[in-house]
Structure 1
Amino acid sequence: MRRVFTNTAGLAALGALAFATAQPAQAGTLPAHQPARAAADTPAYFEMTDVTRERFVIKLTKSEDIQHARALVNGETNDRPHVITRITKRQADYNPRWSYHANPDTTQFFDQAFEVCDATIPYVEDNLDEAGGPFLPGLVWCDWTSRLIREIPAP
């Protein structure tokens, strides 16, 4: 029963990520009743680790995600402690050790997710050429052992 729940929760997390990152059919046009989005939030950077004890930096741009990340780091919550994101197969200036980075527009937090997106930080690096196919379909990555350890200054 637990596996069914985990798989269902994983589908929900992947669906939420896909929905959150979907582009509107007519980008740039807003209905008259919808206000234009305010200027982008100031990004925040967090260091995460996993069972391998490697370190990986993520950039967060949405204020609600930044607040949640700070609450995790400060021990104010244990809710949704793991990172789920779509990876981008190129190095980011704030995360120079790795050949990939977490897309800030898709980065969210989760409690449980599907096995298909689970991989450790170094495993993603070692198998980056296969990411997007059977390994990390859609480039969705959800390291089950990921956890934020600290906020770091902007580069």
Structure 2
Amino acid sequence: MSGSDGVPLPRRNGPENVVPIRRGLRMGTVTAGVPVAVIAGSHWFELSEEHTMATARFGLEAAPNDDEFVFRLDDEERIRQARDILAGIETSKVHVQGRVVAEKSDHNPDWNFHLDPGSITFFDEADEDCDASAHYVAMQLDRVGEEGFLPDNIWAPTRSKITREFDV
């Protein structure tokens, strides 16, 4: 594949088709799954999948009086479900669960762990081995996944509630 000037585009690990965007053009909404490259001078930059997808951040209270925990969703259906929970449209599956990743993230910098955005779902009842406050998970992070404590690294705080959506 070559650019509009006939110069071959560099190949990188990843998608076979790279869509060039001319310098000076602004990028609007990009459909999820569309690989994109941006040219700046003589350099090409591929935008990661994270930047080409719908993304929303939500606040979570995992237990009463627990500090806010922030989780990110990249799936349009899950984003709609979270917004429905906040709006009171969904009243059954209103609690948040997901796979614990034992590292800080940009969207949740106050905690030493975050939830894998692709693993997040909503539930009404969960196994008590998956239930804990955010503070307890943070203090026991080295035990996550052990027998009896967040099996398969799944955190499902049974009293969790979505508190808000962050502005984009």
Secondary structure at 1:46's aligned position in 2? strand
Residue 6 of structure 1 corresponds to none
> Which is higher, the Rg of structure 1 or of structure 2?
2
CA offset at residue 130 of structure 1? 0.8
* Corresponding residue to 1:42 among 37, 51, 54: 54
- Unaligned residue ranges in structure 1 (runs of 5+): 1-27, 29-37
8 Å CA contact 1:47, 1:149 repeated in 2: yes
Q: Mapping of 1:129-148 within 5 angstroms?
A: 129-134=142-147, 135-148=149-162
Post-superposition Cα deviations, 1:110-154, rounded to whole Å, max 9, x if no partner, equal: 000111111111110111111111221211100001110110024
Summarize the alignment of residues 13-28 of structure 1 with structure 2, pairs less than 5 Å apart. none
Larger RCO of the pair (alpha carbons < 8 Å, separation 6+): 1
In structure 2, what residue type is equivalent to 1:45?
Answer: R
Map 1:79-98; keep pairs closer than 5 Å.
79-98=92-111
Name segments (4+ residues, structure 1) moved above 2 Å.
none
**1:30-109 equivalence runs, <5 A:** 39=33, 41-49=53-61, 50-109=63-122
Give the share of equivalent positions with the same residue, in percent: 34
SS in 2 for 1:138: helix
Q: Which runs of 5+ in 2 are unaligned?
A: 1-14, 16-31, 34-51
More helix by share: 1
Secondary structure, counterpart of 1:84 in structure 2? strand
Instruction: Give the TM-score normalised by structure 2.
Output: 0.66
Instruction: Determine the C-alpha separation between the residues in 1 that align with 2:66 and 2:138.
Output: 14
CA distance in 2, matches of 1:68, 1:147: 13
Partner SS state of residue 93, structure 2: coil
Q: What is the alpha-carbon distance in structure 1 between the residues aligned to residue 54 and residue 143 of structure 2? A: 33
Structure 2 CA distance for aligned equivalents of residues 149 and 98 of structure 1: 17
Please, which of 139, 142, 166 is the counterpart of residue 126 of structure 1?
A: 139
Equivalence for 1:17: none
Q: Give the count of matched residue pairs.
A: 119
User: Helix, strand or coil: the match of 2:82?
Assistant: helix
Contact residue 52 and residue 120 of structure 1 kept, 8 A: no
Q: TM-score, normalised by structure 1?
A: 0.72
> How large is the RMSD of aligned CA atoms in angstroms?
1.7
8 Å CA contact 2:98, 2:115 repeated in 1: yes
Structure 2: distance between partners of 1:140 and 1:53: 19
